[in-house]
Copies of this chain bind each other. A is one copy, B any other.
Amino acid sequence: MTRTAFFISDGTGITAESLGRSLLAQFENVEIRKLTKPYIDTIEKAHSLVGIIEATAVRDGVQPIIIDTIVDQKIREVIRAAPGFKVDIFSTFLEPLERELETHSSYSVGRTHAIASDAAYMDRIHSVHFALDNDDGARTHQYDQADVILVGVSRCGKTPTSLYLALQFGIRAANYPLTEDDQDEDGTLKLPPVLAKHRHKLFGLTIDPRRLAAIRHERRPNSRYSSMDQCMQEVSQAEALYRQLHIPFIDTTRFSVEEISTRMIAETGINRRVSPR
Any B CB within 8 A of the CB of A75: no
Partner of A254, one of B69, B92, B115, B163: B115
Any B CB within 8 A of the CB of A52: no
**Contact call B257/A23, Cβ cutoff below 8 A:** no
Give Cα distance in the complex from A259 to B110, angstroms.
Answer: 10
Number of copies of this chain that the complex holds: 2
Number of A interface residues at 8 Å Cβ cutoff, please give it. 78
**Contact call B27/A105, Cβ cutoff below 8 A:** yes
Chain A residues engaging chain B, CB cutoff 8 angstroms:
3, 11-15, 17-19, 21-30, 34, 38-39, 65, 69, 71, 85, 87, 89-90, 92-94, 96-97, 100-101, 103, 105-109, 112-116, 118, 121-122, 124-126, 128-129, 132, 135, 157, 159-160, 163-164, 167, 214-215, 218, 254-259, 262-263, 266, 275-277
26 A-B residue pairs with Cβ-Cβ distance under 8 Å, sorted by A, are A12-B258, A14-B276, A15-B18, A15-B19, A15-B21, A18-B18, A22-B69, A25-B108, A26-B90, A26-B94, A26-B97, A26-B108, A28-B112, A29-B103, A38-B266, A65-B100, A85-B97, A87-B97, A92-B93, A114-B256, A125-B157, A128-B159, A129-B159, A163-B163, A163-B167, A256-B277
